[in-house]
Amino acid sequence: MVVTSASPLLQAAAAGGALLFRQLFDAPTGTLTDLLADVRFAGEFEGPDGRIAGSQWIPLTELEARSGEIPTGKPAVVVCHSGSRSALATQQLLKAGRDQVANLRGGLSRWGDEGYPIESATAS
């Protein structure tokens, strides 16, 4: 994926890896530093795999209609389970004129593998 913004967050998202995860997650407060849109299905977002605390749920099937919920003018990262659907969502948003959006490469699965916290659905 080619990132059209010079944002370090988006550059890191395009490359994937721990740098991005550290940029997205503020360990002392346990919160996200930027918008993270989760495009998984309801059963996944509310299911046993959990989610990244603070992520905004916008299913891929509703993304076009709800894209206005993603603020413009600041970086946003899109996540799914493994990075495939979020890659599609990222492309959809880029084609719609959003230039500060990137895919969280490796998705929720990699986020957890890197040791970052995953919130259970019952925690919200």
Residue-wise pLDDT tens digits, 25-52:
666 665 666 788 999 999 999 999 999 8
pLDDT in tens, 81-93: 999 999 999 999 9
Report d(CA 73, CA 71) in Å as an integer: 7
In angstroms, the first-to-last Cα distance of the chain is 33
**Residue 42 phi, psi dihedral angles, 5° rounding:** -55, -45
Report d(CA 109, CA 80) in Å as an integer: 9
- List of domains in the chain: 8-115 (3.40.250.10)
Report d(CA 95, CA 57) in Å as an integer: 21
Reply yes or no on whether the pLDDT at 22 is more than 70: no
pLDDT above 70: percentage of residues in the chain: 70
pTM: 0.79
pLDDT in tens, 101-116: 888 888 999 888 888 8
pLDDT number for residue 27:
61
* CA distances to 46, 73, 107 from 42, in Å: 6, 28, 16
The torsion angle over the Cα atoms of residues 85, 91, 95 and 96, rounded to 10 degrees, is 50
pLDDT number for residue 98:
85
